[in-house]
Chains A and B, each alone.
Chain A
Amino acid sequence: MERKFWLSTLATCNDAHLTSLWQKFGIEVNFTWLRKPEIGSIMCQGKIGVTGNNFNFGEVTITRCQLKTSQGKIGHGYVQGRNKHKAEIVAICDALMQTNKRDFLIKNIIRPLVVSDKNLKKDVMSKSESTAVDFFTLVRGET
């Protein structure tokens, strides 16, 4: 599993879900802050007509922090929204993913988050599919 993947999963996961998983499986870690959680924003861009030039679309709130564990691993916590506690959990996870706790975290934290996001998207897509207007068969009549 690449760092890009787990950081993406953690950044966009449901806050409450991550917090409850962390309460259940979280690992006590001693760390010092390199950067305490801070709230800011990023400017999100769009593309004119999907393929044209970029334009500034609007901002999204972000919380970020960095920490160093007593093992000397550096963890980055970048998350959507304004949840400082979540950013801290993500930074600790990121640091632990660089240690022998990796498999444990993948199994108990990362995978469940991935699965629940997949299910959510599947839910949206299958509901959307049920609203598909099948003009084609309607016109053809399938005789």
Chain B
Amino acid sequence: MYVAVKGGEKAIENAHNWLSEIRRGDVNVPNLEIDQIKEQLTLSVERVMSEGSLYDTDLAALAIKQSRGDLIEAIFLIRAYRTTLPRFGTSPPIKTEDMVCMRRISATYKDIPGKQKLGPTFDYTHRLLDFSLLAEGNIPKAEKRKVLKEKIPHVLRFLNKEGLIQKEKNNNYQPKDITRNPLEFPANRSERLQSLSRADEGFLLALAYSTQRGYARNHAFVGELRIGYVKVKYNIPELDIEIDIAEIIVTECESVNQFQGSKKTPAQFTRGYGLTFGQLERKAVSMALVDRALRWKEIGEEFVGAPAQDEEFVLSHCDNIQATGFLEHLKLPHYVDFQSELELVRRIRKEYEKNK
């Protein structure tokens, strides 16, 4: 039982004032503008949008500033704001096949229609500190080259054609929204993916890594990773006209995993799927691996007791706002509960002494 405490208003107010002052830092250093965060810390902004589960770059940048760069705190602010928004409707699924790609790679095929395009990536950098960024260094200009073919088909389509990879099931399932209906177990894959898409990147990374190290190994390849702009469609109810209401940057990862077959069906690769707001490659790949691990039952694999296979474990602990809410409440006064436990321990000890 949690018993409330009263008082402390002045101390709390003073603490928050100091927080504001310390957030601003040295006033001789120029104040950080929201636009600077939006333009120069884009990957932080995108992570906050992804885990906040709300695509709005201004709000995410504001949240990062307000939270002094604590991204989980920023995500918390976005989640809290999100709950105040009326819902105008639902979009039909985004079409990632129509994506204007910045980056698109496949680790399974080298020659692919639409080519391997590295895009603005950290891959292949030497991970050496670039001291020129300390000064206002000269920024190299991005090269441009004429685009001959705009359409970039999905790589796994080619595997699909040969029947070498499992087809995705599509039975027009109407997904439940986990922000409106509490998650139930066993969960459908649609609800699982909603949950994973807003999940903590670090948690997903650790779980995905655990599958690579052998806890429910599923031998993953990145079949395709694509990052770019997609349109979000919306049917205006008053007009019954479907328009492009928004344009967002997303990362999509399709993994090709361990094949399996039986006497009845020839060997086939299996798949995992990751989709996130923004350019969050690490998270999208992790999500695909965890999605694949969670599909053990449907695919007919053995449950080996690995954390990444345990749906209830994964989905109940992947949300960093739920987690931090419960964890951080430990810092709030628990004087009364502790007092009662203290008295209990004293009594037990007294009885122990008496019977010694």
Q: Which of A54, A61, A123, A129 contacts B117 (CB 8 A)?
A: A129
CB distance from B107 to the nearest CB of A (A): 12
CB distance from A66 to the nearest CB of B (A): 7
The interface residues of chain A lying within 8 Å CB-to-CB of B49 are 58
The interface residues of chain A lying within 8 Å CB-to-CB of B171 are 53
- Chain B CB within 8 A of A8 CB: yes
Interface pair A133/B175, CB less than 8 Å apart: no
Q: Which of B53, B87, B156, B167 contacts A42 (CB 8 A)?
A: B87
The interface residues of chain A lying within 8 Å CB-to-CB of B144 are 123, 126-127, 129-130
- Chain A CB within 8 A of B277 CB: yes
In the complex, chain B residues 230-279 whose Cβ is within 8 Å of any chain A Cβ: 231-232, 234, 236, 238-239, 241-248, 252, 254, 271, 273, 275, 277
The interface residues of chain B lying within 8 Å CB-to-CB of A11 are 243-246
Chain A residue nearest to B114 (CB atoms) is A132
In the complex, chain A residues 113-140 whose Cβ is within 8 Å of any chain B Cβ: 121-136
CB distance from A132 to the nearest CB of B (A): 4
Residue count of chain B within 8 Å CB distance of chain A: 83
The interface residues of chain B lying within 8 Å CB-to-CB of A66 are 238
Interface pair B175/A45, CB less than 8 Å apart: yes
The interface residues of chain B lying within 8 Å CB-to-CB of A79 are 245
Interface pair B177/A56, CB less than 8 Å apart: yes
Interface pair A127/B143, CB less than 8 Å apart: yes
Q: Which of A56, A60, A64 contacts B248 (CB 8 A)?
A: A60
The interface residues of chain A lying within 8 Å CB-to-CB of B356 are none
> How far apart are the CA atoms of A130 and B96 in the complex, in Å?
22
Q: Which of B103, B175, B198 contacts A53 (CB 8 A)?
A: B175
Q: How would residues 1 to 40 of chain A score, 1 for a CB under 8 Å from any chain B CB and 0 otherwise?
A: 0011001100110000000000000000000000000111
CB distance from B311 to the nearest CB of A (A): 15
Interface pair B156/A43, CB less than 8 Å apart: no
The interface residues of chain A lying within 8 Å CB-to-CB of B172 are 53
- Chain B CB within 8 A of A51 CB: yes
Chain A residue nearest to B248 (CB atoms) is A60
Q: Which of B56, B86, B119, B150 contacts A131 (CB 8 A)?
A: B119
> How far apart are the CA atoms of A128 and B137 in the complex, in Å?
24
Contacts A125-B147, A131-B119 given: A42-B194 contact, CB under 8 Å? no
Chain B residue nearest to A139 (CB atoms) is B110
Contacts A78-B243, A126-B147 given: A132-B116 contact, CB under 8 Å? yes
Q: Which of B85, B101, B246 contacts A128 (CB 8 A)?
A: B101
Residue count of chain A within 8 Å CB distance of chain B: 55
Contacts A40-B85, A133-B116 given: A54-B173 contact, CB under 8 Å? yes
Interface pair B236/A76, CB less than 8 Å apart: yes
- Chain B CB within 8 A of A47 CB: yes
Q: How would residues 41 to 53 of chain B score, 1 for a CB under 8 Å from any chain A CB and 0 otherwise?
A: 0000000011001
Contacts A58-B277, A62-B245, A81-B58 given: A128-B117 contact, CB under 8 Å? yes
> How far apart are the CA atoms of A127 and B252 in the complex, in Å?
20
Interface pair B94/A128, CB less than 8 Å apart: no
Contacts A128-B101, A130-B142 given: A59-B115 contact, CB under 8 Å? no
> How far apart are the CA atoms of A122 and B91 in the complex, in Å?
26
Q: Which of B88, B229, B275 contacts A121 (CB 8 A)?
A: B229
Q: Which of B94, B100, B116, B170 contacts A44 (CB 8 A)?
A: B94
Q: How would residues 197 to 218 of chain B score, 1 for a CB under 8 Å from any chain A CB and 0 otherwise?
A: 1100000000000000000000
Interface pair A124/B90, CB less than 8 Å apart: no
Contacts A50-B154, A53-B189 given: A59-B170 contact, CB under 8 Å? no
Contacts A4-B243, A12-B247, A59-B55 given: A42-B101 contact, CB under 8 Å? no
In the complex, chain B residues 8-39 whose Cβ is within 8 Å of any chain A Cβ: none
- Can you list 8 residue pairs at the A/B interface with Cβ under 8 Å? A44-B91, A50-B156, A52-B273, A58-B50, A60-B56, A62-B234, A128-B119, A136-B110
Residues of B within 8 A of A (CB): 49-50, 53-56, 58-59, 82, 85-94, 96-97, 100-104, 110-111, 115-119, 142-147, 150, 154, 156, 167-175, 177-179, 189-191, 193-194, 197-198, 228-229, 231-232, 234, 236, 238-239, 241-248, 252, 254, 271, 273, 275, 277
**With A60-B248, A135-B110 already in contact, 4 other A-B pairs whose C-beta atoms are closer than 8 Å:** A40-B85, A57-B194, A61-B59, A80-B246
